[in-house]
Amino acid sequence: MPATSVIDAHALHDQIVVCVLNCNRGRLSLLEHIEQMDELRLFVELGCSSIEHYLQKKLKFKKSSAWSHKVVARALPELPKLRDAFANAEISWSTLREIAMVATGRTEKQWLEFMEKHGADAVDREVKAAKGDGRDAPREGEYSLPPQTVTIKFVVTADQYETASEKLKSAQVKHGGPGDDGPFLEAMIDSYMQSHTEDSPAEETSLAGPTKTVVYHQCPTCRASSVETEVGRVEIESTVVDAATETATVIEITPEEEQPLPPLATHAEPDDPTPPELRAKVLARDGHRCQSCRGHRDLHAHHVQPRSKHGRTELDNLVTTCKLCHGLIHQNRLAVTGTASTGFGFS
């Protein structure tokens, strides 16, 4: 029988990291050559009218890719920290591309710190907001990420599109008009769900309710409000939360509850397991999202410092994880450190 090869996860990861490092350093070399071609206008000798024309004609780049490579190539000589982070695979090409659109030598460190704290997806939102505001740096001390519109796609056949698009235009003109799509879409779905529920047997409508919890946050003092998303908290108007509280479950977390409890004595009995009320507050605080993978199903409240090692059953020592990540933690394949007050880390 042929020998069975065994692939070690850590060894394979190391090989992938080497590949990423090589790719990034290769792209940096490409950007340097593009910057030189652009600076000296050598593309003219190759029958091209601009560096973008050169990249599209000679290297078969898409128009959008040619433009982004031009912008990054021009910006990178003034952004040494970003360049080094990319060379060391600390940020991806997409993140480098986004930050280079707005950053300066004065603000590049702030963008890297923002990336470390909030993640790559949040960088995209903040960069878009910075462009709109004319900023070269991320906002400091903000309650949440900036507001942003989202596009929802429907997949239909050609004949369905022709019929539905005309009906949609007529309905928009009658009930709100273009630009007011959010309330219109909600009303349309509610109407469909209501008619479907009325016309269908009960057993066929058991999934009519929401499939996940939508979490809003609001500061009771300044009324700053946000909604939890895959990339973190996103700013919304306080009136949205006010309207939601009429039918939603409201969970209040006081500043006193957020303070860590004193440590247990060495020979003290372990704290009790997490009661349902405390679990609800942990999940609400964390936006009903796993703090490792951002998943929103099968959520657990995990003791970072185990109860068996004198960890307290308190908000500061509890973090939301999904069932899979929780299992990885207890299998010693995923490590979680920190507290709610200092910030949780996963590695």
pLDDT digit string, tens, across residues 92-130: 999 999 999 999 999 999 999 999 888 888 898 899 889
Query: Helix or strand or coil: residue 95?
Result: helix
Mean pLDDT of the chain: 87
Identify whether the C-beta of residue 286 lies closer than 8 Å to the C-beta of residue 319: yes
Amino acid in position 192: Y
Residue (of 274, 324, 277) closest to 302 by Cα position: 274
Mean pLDDT score, 149-154: 78
Q: Is the pLDDT of residue 203 over 50?
A: no
Distance, CA of 321 to chain centre = 16
Question: Strands (DSSP E) along the chain, which ranges?
Answer: 216-218, 225-229, 232-236, 299-303, 318-322, 336-339, 343-346
Identify whether the C-beta of residue 212 lies closer than 8 Å to the C-beta of residue 299: no
Distance, CA of 235 to chain centre = 14
Q: How confident is the model at residue 91, as a pLDDT?
A: 96
- Tens-digit pLDDT profile for residues 64-103: 999 999 999 999 999 999 999 999 999 999 999 999 999 9
Mean pLDDT score, 172-198: 68
Mean pLDDT score, 26-49: 97
Amino acid in position 300: H
Amino acid in position 101: M
Q: What is the DSSP string of 305-333?
A: S-GGGT--SSGGGEEEEEHHHHHHHHTTS
Residue 299 class from Cβ within 10 Å (0-12 exposed, 13-18 middle, 19+ buried)? buried
Q: How confident is the model at residue 196, as a pLDDT?
A: 65
Q: How confident is the model at residue 212, as a pLDDT?
A: 61
Rounded Cα distance, 91 and 87, in Å = 8
Quickly state the pLDDT bin for 340 (edges 50, 70, 90).
Answer: very high
Residue (of 129, 181, 175, 122) closest to 150 by Cα position: 181
- Tens-digit pLDDT profile for residues 217-252: 888 888 888 888 887 888 888 888 888 888 888 899
Q: How confident is the model at residue 207, as a pLDDT?
A: 40
- Tens-digit pLDDT profile for residues 157-170: 877 877 777 777 77
Domain ranges of the chain: 9-133, 255-346
